[in-house]
């Protein structure tokens, strides 16, 4: 990629200029080149849709997300059959935006992609050592760190940031946050275990070495009850829900208030932190290493 363009800030400025053109206006000839520059930076890992500051707080990088949206804006829906690799069915119907076809990989990338319906969109960074079990999907703007497992039916949404040595178990859904551009995407830090059929959405941050048991669902508005520290973690309109480092989170329930609800014995699903990761928990999760 053109490092001089990126490092000088020219790329971000040009994306801002192009994005400011009214939808009724025509795009300059360089728009496609600008989007391609962004995509290559994302795939190389030199550009990211989110950054972590010196205090450990994650922030969106709005101009990067703005550039991805620009890529959708300038593209046409085309027949992408030609992008299907050798060995696929003779005729695989595939129609999508021309700027974001599936990425191409080869052995030098060091990524293990098992055949069977998996796809990684252009503009996603996938580090060496990542294992992709079919069928799974990684969307544009996502960043997946080294030696992470993306298991069957798992989704890594647009701009989601996945750390190193993470296990996204079968059916795990890591939500994408592309708009608004200043909204922080979902963050899964290093060595997190995300259990089967978990859902992590709306800019939630899961700190390093946390364990989400199967079926845990986290959103900005989900209260998480910490039995160890006897506190409740919540997100807000301007602050993401954060799961502490090393927390072991399981599905739980809390009683619904009100006389009628009490009579019906109703309860609401809520995640509960039952412990923090220790040697016994680590022993139980070492089996994950055998899958890599």
What is the per-residue pLDDT across 211-224, written as a single tens digit (0 to 9) for each?
999 999 999 999 99
Whole-number percent of the chain with pLDDT over 90: 73
Report yes or no: 189 and 207 within 8 Å, Cβ to Cβ.
yes
Sign of CA dihedral 167, 169, 175, 178: positive
Lowest mean per-residue pLDDT among 76-90, 96-110, 193-207: 76-90
Looking at per-residue pLDDT, the higher value among 97 and 37 belongs to: 37
Residue 5 has pLDDT above 80, yes or no: no
pTM as predicted: 0.89
**Read out DSSP for 198-236?**
-EE-TT-EE-TT-EE-TT-EE-TT--EEETTTTEEE--B
> Between the CA atoms of 124, 130, 136 and 137, what dihedral angle is there, to the nearest 10 degrees?
0
Which one, of 92, 202, 224, 93, lies nearest residue 157 by Cα? 202
User: For the segment 155-173, what is each residue's pLDDT rounded down to a tens digit?
Assistant: 999 999 999 999 999 999 9
Instruction: Give the side-chain half-sphere CA count within 13 A for 26.
Output: 2
Q: For residue 33, what pLDDT is reported? A: 96
Instruction: List the structure tokens of 51.
Output: 């950054």
Model confidence band, residue 81 (pLDDT cutoffs 50, 70, 90):
low
Domains of the chain as residue ranges with CATH = 3-74 (1.10.166.10), 97-291 (2.160.10.10)
d(CA 252, CA 247): 15
Task: Name the average pLDDT for the chain.
Answer: 89
Q: For residue 84, what pLDDT is reported? A: 57
Model confidence band, residue 83 (pLDDT cutoffs 50, 70, 90):
low
d(CA 249, CA 72): 37
Lowest mean per-residue pLDDT among 80-94, 129-143, 160-174: 80-94
Model confidence band, residue 102 (pLDDT cutoffs 50, 70, 90):
confident
Which one, of 113, 116, 115, 153, lies nearest residue 129 by Cα? 113
Model confidence band, residue 1 (pLDDT cutoffs 50, 70, 90):
very low
**Read out DSSP for 264-276?**
HT-EEEEEEEEEE
Report yes or no: 135 and 118 within 8 Å, Cβ to Cβ.
yes
């Amino acid at each position: 990629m053109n490092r001089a363009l990126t490092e000088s800030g020219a790329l971000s400025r040009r994306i801002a200029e192009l994005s400011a053109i009214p939808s009724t206006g025509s795009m300059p000839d360089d728009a496609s080149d600008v989007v391609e520059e962004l995509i290559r930076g994302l795939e190389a890992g030199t550009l990211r849709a989110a950054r972590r500051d010196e205090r450990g707080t994650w922030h969106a990088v709005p101009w990067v997300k703005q550039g991805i949206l620009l890529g959708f804006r300038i593209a046409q829906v085309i027949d992408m059959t030609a992008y299907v690799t050798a060995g696929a069915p003779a005729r695989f119907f595939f129609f999508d935006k021309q700027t974001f076809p599936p990425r191409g990989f080869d052995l030098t990338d060091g990524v293990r992609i098992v055949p069977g319906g998996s796809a990684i969109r252009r503009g996603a960074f996938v580090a060496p050592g990542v294992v992709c079990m079919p069928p799974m999907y990684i969307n544009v703007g996502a960043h997946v760190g080294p030696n992470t497992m993306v298991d069957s039916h798992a989704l890594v949404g647009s701009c989601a940031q996945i750390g190193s040595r993470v296990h996204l178990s079968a059916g795990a859904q890591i939500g994408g946050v592309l708009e608004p551009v200043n909204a922080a995407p979902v963050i899964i830090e290093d060595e997190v275990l995300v259990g089967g059929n978990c859902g992590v959405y709306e800019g939630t941050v899961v700190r390093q070495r946390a364990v989400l048991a199967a079926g845990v669902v986290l959103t900005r508005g989900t209260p998480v009850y910490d039995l160890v520290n006897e506190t409740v973690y919540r997100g807000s309109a301007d602050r993401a829900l954060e799961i502490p480092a090393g927390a072991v989170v399981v599905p739980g329930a809390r009683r619904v208030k009100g006389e009628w609800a009490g009579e019906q014995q109703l309860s609401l699903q809520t995640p509960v932190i039952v412990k923090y990761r220790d040697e016994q928990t680590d022993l139980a999760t070492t089996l994950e290493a055998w899958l890599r």
